[in-house]
């Protein structure tokens, strides 16, 4: 599914406020006439977007995947969420626990002019960024590390040690795209890495400063947590 994260408090249902999970569960329950729990490959923060989020539901009613997709999308007509593919999976499939890798993308617009179409969907940085320096520094974060510095104080993960398989930075005109892949991410890890890389691009941090922040294993050493606007959950990989 894809979704615009701007009107939502994030993926996970909340007692109050709109969430992506809540919108989907309401649509599914209305169609299927039963209580439905939607399980996703990952949880996104308020304002974070989805291009290829994967989720699953367990249902007792007999319905074809196409009919289910069409019905859910009809139920989501008033919110910016859309199911773009639907299929039947094995009974032991789980969108979260069966996932082998998750891929994120962060979009920066590097220009002085304000955002129009990209407002709320990209992060504008007015001063020139050195994308090559950002990419070179990013490679220090690739691999198996303790990412305590880059995790939210509210992160619920039991272990701050994660393996980051990829962190690439590339410029396309006045846009800079940062792509990351890992089996799993800590809460705010992607936004925190992007924030610090932006400091490198601005010349405020060196690659050594980024390495020192990582090795400090201390959230107070974080340079900057990027806003959610430019972050996208791109896809999830399964067998």
Catalytic residues: 45
Q: How many angstroms separate the CA atoms of 6 and 9, rounded?
A: 8
Q: Are 83 and 25 in contact (CB under 8 A)?
A: no
140 torsion bin: left (phi>0), alpha (psi -120 to 50), beta (else): alpha
Q: How many angstroms separate the CA atoms of 161 and 37, rounded?
A: 30
Element holding 180 (H helix, E strand): strand 175-182
Token pair of 95, please? 């969108």
Q: How many angstroms separate the CA atoms of 239 and 182, rounded?
A: 15
């Amino acid at each position: 599914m894809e979704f615009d994260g701007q009107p939502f408090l994030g993926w996970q249902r909340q007692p109050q406020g709109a969430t992506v999970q809540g919108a989907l569960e309401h649509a599914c329950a209305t169609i299927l006439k039963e209580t439905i729990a939607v399980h996703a490959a990952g949880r996104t923060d308020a304002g974070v977007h989805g291009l290829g989020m994967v989720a699953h539901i367990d249902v007792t009613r007999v319905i074809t995947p196409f009919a289910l997709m069409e019905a859910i999308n009809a139920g989501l007509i008033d919110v910016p969420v859309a199911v773009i593919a639907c299929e039947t999976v094995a009974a032991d499939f789980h969108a979260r626990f069966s996932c082998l890798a998750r891929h994120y993308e962060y979009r920066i617009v590097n220009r002085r002019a304000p955002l129009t179409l990209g407002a709320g969907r990209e992060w504008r940085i007015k001063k020139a960024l050195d994308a090559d320096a950002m990419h070179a520094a990013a490679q220090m974060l690739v691999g198996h590390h303790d990412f305590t510095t880059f995790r939210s104080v509210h992160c619920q993960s039991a272990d701050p040690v994660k393996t980051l398989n990829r962190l690439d930075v590339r410029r396309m005109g006045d846009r800079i795209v940062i792509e990351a892949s890992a089996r799993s991410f800590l809460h705010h890890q992607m936004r925190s890495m992007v924030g610090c890389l932006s400091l490198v691009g601005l010349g405020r941090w060196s690659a050594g400063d980024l390495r020192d922040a990582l090795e400090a294993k201390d959230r107070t050493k974080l340079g900057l947590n990027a806003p959610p606007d430019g972050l996208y959950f791109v896809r999830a990989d399964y067998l």
